[in-house]
Amino acid sequence: MQLIKTLVVDDSAFVRKVIGEILAANPFIEVVGFARNGEQALALAETLKPDVITCDLNMPELDGVNFVKRQFARRPVPIVILTASPQDTEQVIEALAAGAVGFVRKPTALATDALRAVREELIEKIKGAAAASFPGVPAAGLAPPVVRKSAHMARNIDIVVLGISTGGPQALRHLLPQFARDFPVPLVLVQHMPPGYTAPFAEKLAGISQLAVKEAHAGCLVSPQQALLAPAGKHLSFKRDLAGQIRVHLSRTPAGTPHKPSVNVLFQSAAEIYGRRVLGVVMTGMGNDGTEGAAWIKAQGGTILTESEESCIIYGMPRCVVESGMSDGEVTLASMAEEINNRL
């Protein structure tokens, strides 16, 4: 395996030192430089050409969010954000939407042992980030056209369920605004995120979408013209109430899944409740969450779309579905909204 050239950016000399030691001890990572703020990091990124950048969120002169924006305007590089404050949620989401591929929560007590406690997570994020590419990221600031489908037309699909992970915040900011206000079926999403981030992310999406986007809560009605985002830390499934209406069910079980919420759990429940009238969509992300769920949908006669490698930040989750022979169509991010509407 080729060494992952990594640039470490943090305004604290102590944090730079400890993170440098953590990464240098890994046989797959080479620390090629250190920067104390975003301005210095921009210059070093030009000369050192790192494969991955770890970047503190709060820094003088140029903070993490604006560093991500300026670096992506020059040359997209996989960036892992480091944040120490729970109050930084909105900034983290903004950095992810700007192009950062992940983030790691630093311990609040910046002692050597505490920082080393995040060693495995940080190294895992860097290795995952090194596999990222940015071939089809839509240009920032361009509002995509709204794709319309009449709510009164005959439908083949009663629900769209979508699973996404690394690269998701960028992709969803492009995708959701393309759906018209009268989108005729419910849209339910799993975006892999830690607890505390899905509610503000849903609010951000709601601000740019015609759909009613919100974080799902237990018992909420699953209805057209809205997009429900599964809350982090819980699995989302569906239940019929006594009146026959379909509502959200949230649970912490099954406990053995790598992700909570799980795309597999969402897809399986959709297949059980809606049968063949399910459209499952698997988009950019690491790992294979969604493959087992796609099998449940296909077994009921439903349809699966996957984001094509051409536009994925990480072609992991979609690749597993495609290689399992369950994709009914590979679609770029730019064409995904139109294809979803066509499949309805």
Strand partners, 83: 105
Catalytic residue among 51, 56, 88, 165: 165
Structure tokens given for 8: 């470490």
Catalytic residue among 51, 56, 158, 289: 289
Tell how strand 330-331 and strand 303-307 pair up: parallel
How far is Cα 130 from Cα 3, in angstroms, rounded to an integer?
10
Phi, psi of 201 (to 5 degrees): -65, -40
Is 289 assigned a catalytic role? yes
Tell me the C-alpha to C-alpha distance, in Å, between residue 189 and each of 129, 195, 266, 324.
Answer: 23, 15, 8, 22
How far is Cα 196 from Cα 24, in angstroms, rounded to an integer?
31
Is 165 assigned a catalytic role? yes
Structure tokens given for 24: 């240098």
Q: Nearest CA to 38 among 58, 20, 63, 69?
A: 63
Catalytic residue among 158, 174, 192, 311: 192
Amino acid at 245: Q
Q: Which helix (H) or strand (E) holds 271?
A: helix 263-274
Q: Nearest CA to 321 among 271, 267, 272?
A: 267
Structure tokens given for 25: 């001890």
Structure tokens given for 215: 């974080």
Q: Which is it for the CA torsion 137, 66, 5, 81, positive or negative?
A: negative
How far is Cα 86 from Cα 63, in angstroms, rounded to an integer?
17
Is 88 assigned a catalytic role? no
| Cis amide bond preceding 258, omega within 30 | no
On whether the CB atoms of residues 177 and 208 are closer than 8 A, the answer is: yes
Catalytic residue list = 165, 192, 289
